[in-house]
Structure 1
Amino acid sequence: QGGIISAAPADELTLTYGFSALWSGMKDVYISDNRAFCSFHYGLLILDISDTLSPQFLSQVYIPDGDGWRIDIDGEHVFLADGFGGLKVIDISNPAAASCWRAYDY
């Protein structure tokens, strides 16, 4: 399984990330400051893409019973739409140690 990460239409990168069933099926990608924020069924994966030929793992945030879909970012927070699980707010002030800051369930 692969996904396309593109900071600009001319700069495409095929990303394959498949070593865990929990982290397969990427649903959304948000690019900000040489970082790719990728939503998966069970959470958020953050990659350093400053070298587009060799993306580097920064951190991941596991959301138990999650259903991560859409991502938006405001400052040091990622807002992750979590399907039936509501909204998760993830603190990315230190992208190498991201953590779930708030959960709004419905």
Structure 2
Amino acid sequence: MPDEIDELLKLNGVGRKTANLVVTLGYQKPGICVDTHVHRITNRWGYVQTRNPHETEFALREKLPKKYWLTINDLLVTFGQNICVPISPKCSICPVTVYCKKVEVTRSR
């Protein structure tokens, strides 16, 4: 199995999210696996301003310190499934609500 994102992307059916996941989890090499949670939350916070996960990956590569690249997906998937949900996020119990710009949040709990 290739250990470089560009090589993995040459494989049929492998996209950026999967390539980054293989590189980070399989080889412990720098990569940022951006799924809907990472895209939604980092934009909701106002940390990046992007239209899709592809743009979010590259914006985070520019802004996020490399020491967080391997863990951001794991942390934000769990956070996005339990607290910062797509519709009516649970802002009242969110540990980072004071830092969140709540971009496009129209109602919360």
TM-score range, shorter chain: under 0.3
Higher strand share: 1
TM-score when normalising by structure 2: 0.25
| Higher helix proportion | 2
TM-score, length-scaled by structure 1: 0.26
Higher RCO (CA-CA < 8 Å; seq separation 6+): 2
Mark the structure with the bigger radius of gyration: 2
